[in-house]
């Protein structure tokens, strides 16, 4: 399901950003979606959401945030922003991939302990989040003109979910998920301005409209996770 949902989003995002009438709107959606993810990640990551450093985990989360931002910044500086494949891959694998590993750890821990009963609402929420992530990947790789690379990146970040789940099932503490979430947050903070600047600066109304739609889409998808 993870791979399929992400690939659906990637193909949709790639097609929408190649079509003149929806290109700017799709860029706005991608930026808004990741603003929504960032809001959710910071809220659920120990220390970052409250601005405190009360434990070693809080410190590791802060370091993860800085590492994620620095890694994307350094890798993207070596390519022709924002069209280079290096920047596209680094953004996808660090921002989306780190998020996926953290999600996998949470899922693996829930399965191992049985503390959380996985409902249809939670599955739907997860699938919609993957569609949104895939859409953003499609937009970025469309700007680089590389659909095959976008599909490959989508498969790689999708495989990060079972990787995280297996690590949790083999005994990795669930707290480590927040370090991955923090790393993704750092990468997203750096990436949002770049993603939002794709397709030039024209048509600000559609760009802002897409941003609002993307943010609300991710936010509402997240609320499904709270339903039983």
Looking at residue 131, what is its pLDDT? 92
* Cis peptide preceding 154, ω within 30 of 0: no
Looking at residue 91, what is its pLDDT? 80
Looking at residue 57, what is its pLDDT? 80
Give ∠ CA 184-224-170 in degrees, rounded to 5. Answer: 50
Looking at residue 154, what is its pLDDT? 92
Q: Number of structural domains, the chain?
A: 1
Looking at residue 83, what is its pLDDT? 54
Looking at residue 53, what is its pLDDT? 65
As a whole number of angstroms, the distance between CA 185 and CA 39 comes to 9
CA 217 distance to own-chain centroid: 13
Contacts of 224 (CB under 8 A, 6+ apart): 121, 122, 124, 125, 128
Looking at residue 188, what is its pLDDT? 87
CA dihedral (13, 17, 22, 23) in degrees, to 10, reads 140
- In 3D, which of 157, 198, 186 has the Cα closest to residue 71? 186
Give the residue ranges of the chain where pLDDT is below 70: 44, 46-54, 77-83, 114-119, 199-202, 225-228
As a whole number of angstroms, the distance between CA 127 and CA 161 comes to 12
As a whole number of angstroms, the distance between CA 14 and CA 23 comes to 9
Looking at residue 156, what is its pLDDT? 92
pTM, entire model: 0.86
Looking at residue 116, what is its pLDDT? 63
Domain that holds residue 137: 2-224
Looking at residue 46, what is its pLDDT? 59
Looking at residue 151, what is its pLDDT? 92
Looking at residue 200, what is its pLDDT? 56
């Amino acid at each position: 399901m993870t791979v399929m949902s992400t690939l659906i989003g990637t193909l949709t995002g790639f097609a929408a950003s190649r079509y003149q009438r929806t290109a700017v709107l799709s860029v706005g959606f991608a930026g808004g979606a990741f603003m929504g993810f960032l809001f959710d990640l910071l809220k659920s990551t120990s220390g970052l959401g409250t601005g405190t450093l009360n434990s070693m985990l809080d410190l590791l989360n802060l370091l993860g945030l800085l590492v994620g931002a620095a890694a994307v910044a350094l890798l993207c500086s070596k390519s022709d922003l924002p069209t280079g494949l290096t920047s596209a891959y680094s953004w996808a694998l660090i921002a989306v991939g780190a998020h996926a590993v953290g999600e996998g750890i949470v899922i693996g821990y829930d399965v191992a302990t049985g503390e959380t009963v996985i409902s249809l609402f939670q599955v739907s929420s997860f699938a919609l989040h993957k569609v949104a992530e895939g859409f953003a990947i499609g937009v970025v790789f469309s700007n680089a003109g590389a659909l095959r690379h976008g599909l490959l990146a989508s498969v790689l970040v999708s495989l990060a979910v079972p990787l995280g789940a297996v690590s949790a099932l083999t005994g990795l503490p669930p707290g480590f998920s927040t370090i991955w979430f923090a790393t993704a947050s750092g990468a997203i903070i750096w990436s949002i301005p770049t993603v939002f600047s794709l397709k030039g600066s024209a048509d600000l109304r559609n760009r802002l409209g897409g941003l609002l739609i993307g943010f609300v889409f991710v936010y509402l998808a997240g609320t499904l996770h709270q339903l039983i």
